[in-house]
Amino acid sequence: MLGGGRSIQLVRVFGIPIGVNVSWFLFLFVVIYFRSEAYKDQFPGHDNRAFVLAVVFALAFFLSILLHELGHAVTALRNGVGISGIELWMFGGLARMKRDSPTPWIDLKISAAGPLVTLVIAALVFAAGAAFTGAHDFARAMVFDRTPITAGEAVLADICFINTLLLVFNLLPGLPLDGGRIVRAIAWWKTGDRLRATRVTAITGRGLAYLLGAYGIYAFAQGSSVAGVWSLVLAFLIGQAARAELARGEVTSRIEHLHVSDVMDAEPVAIPADTTVARALEEFFLRYGWDWFPVVDRSGRFAGLAERERLEQADGAGSVLDALVPESRNEFGVGVDEPLDALLASEPLQRLGAIMAVDGEGVLRGVVTIEQVMRALQPFARTA
């Protein structure tokens, strides 16, 4: 699904950071408000119950989206494609991969995993609802028929409906939607040309954006301002994302022969792990004036990042190893043999401005800054 910007980190699932964008809270409020009003109409005289049902529906809705993205993320990890995290926001969620899929088959598996999870959720909820009310009545309740059902059955019907809607929407054959990624993987396999496949599905994605925009204008003309606004916003986001996918595909195709080792600084300044905090501040931070340094153990393996602010708050006699940025060893490391395009979507690189290049044994071999990556891309940007 579509993705937003910076997120507030909440938990880790299977080692994958889960976060929510600020816009998610706004959308959560909107969903609860509108569903609460709908449940008040469906069950008159039970306003408190309507609110509770709306909260349950909203949480189940976003749990469905999270499970959808986890389907993508777990499949990616099992196929050697790193995941920097999952973000939920106003228009859905996004599993942020550290690099593009190396083969069409892996790309197809990752792309199809999310819709498959959504299909399973919809099927399980439908089975549960049908067991209570019968398949025919439950199907009618899903399309907002006023069939007499209980409050719990109404929520189940709504959850089943929204997952079915998400499944259909996500399978539309245009980037950046999952359906577009599936079609691209198949076209990539058939033609052997990933860029060509990306171009075709990006054009399809822009076509979907135009259709959504046209519907939004039509909805406004019919007096449905809410549907009009949502359709126009979605049209804009899908169009922008399709263009971004195409631009990314162009760049990736041009730098596929470059690796991290080709652009890194092979002589990084690093702090030995047994250095005291006071000595690190004096000999490294005061001397160079930088805000952070990589820390290495006696074997030269990258142990994590030391930040000035954290060290200034630590015991000066203690080891710098005890004041490292949590999880920085795994978060800010990348293999020297990784393709350069693995850094294009690197959130740690964007956040820190640099990332540590390590070999197969974890030994620090270099540092790649965002400026070095941009310089490597400049010749290709001029010819694109």
Q: Where do the CATH 3.10.580.10 domains begin and end in the chain?
A: 260-383
Tens digit of each residue's pLDDT (9 = 90 or more) over 223-240: 887 778 878 888 888 888
Topology (CATH) of 260-383? CBS-domain (3.10.580)
Sign for the CA dihedral angle at 72, 76, 81, 82 comes to positive
Candidate ranges 5-19, 131-145, 262-276; pick with highest mean pLDDT: 262-276
Q: What percent of the chain has pLDDT over 70?
A: 95
Q: How confident is the model at residue 6, as a pLDDT?
A: 57
Residue tagged 């007096």 (tokens): 223
Determine contact, residues 238/208, Cβ cutoff 8 Å: yes
Q: CB-hemisphere CA count at 13 Å for 247?
A: 11
Determine contact, residues 128/153, Cβ cutoff 8 Å: no
Q: How confident is the model at residue 178, as a pLDDT?
A: 93
**pLDDT for residue 272 is more than 60:** yes
pTM: 0.74
**pLDDT for residue 293 is more than 90:** yes
Tens digit of each residue's pLDDT (9 = 90 or more) over 305-333: 999 999 999 888 899 999 998 888 888 88
Q: How confident is the model at residue 233, as a pLDDT?
A: 83
Tens digit of each residue's pLDDT (9 = 90 or more) over 72-121: 999 999 998 878 889 888 777 888 887 778 899 999 999 999 999 999 99
Q: Which pLDDT band holds residue 57 (cuts at 50, 70, 90)?
A: very high
| Structure-token pair, residue 280 | 């690190």
Q: How confident is the model at residue 80, as a pLDDT?
A: 86
Tens digit of each residue's pLDDT (9 = 90 or more) over 151-179: 888 999 999 999 999 999 899 888 888 99
**pLDDT for residue 67 is more than 60:** yes
Question: Distance between terminal CA atoms of the chain?
Answer: 27
User: Among residues 185, 231, 183, which one has the least CA distance to residue 208?
Assistant: 231
Q: What percent of the chain has pLDDT over 90?
A: 43
Q: How confident is the model at residue 148, as a pLDDT?
A: 66
Tens digit of each residue's pLDDT (9 = 90 or more) over 193-215: 888 888 888 888 889 889 989 99
Q: Inter-axis angle of helices 104-133 and 47-78, to 10 degrees? A: 150
Beta strands, E only, the chain: 8-13, 16-20, 83-89, 92-97, 271-272, 292-296, 302-307, 333-335, 354-358, 364-369
Q: How confident is the model at residue 366, as a pLDDT?
A: 94
Of 27-36, 46-55, 268-277, 344-353, give the lowest mean pLDDT range.
Answer: 344-353
Q: What is the mean pLDDT of the chain?
A: 87
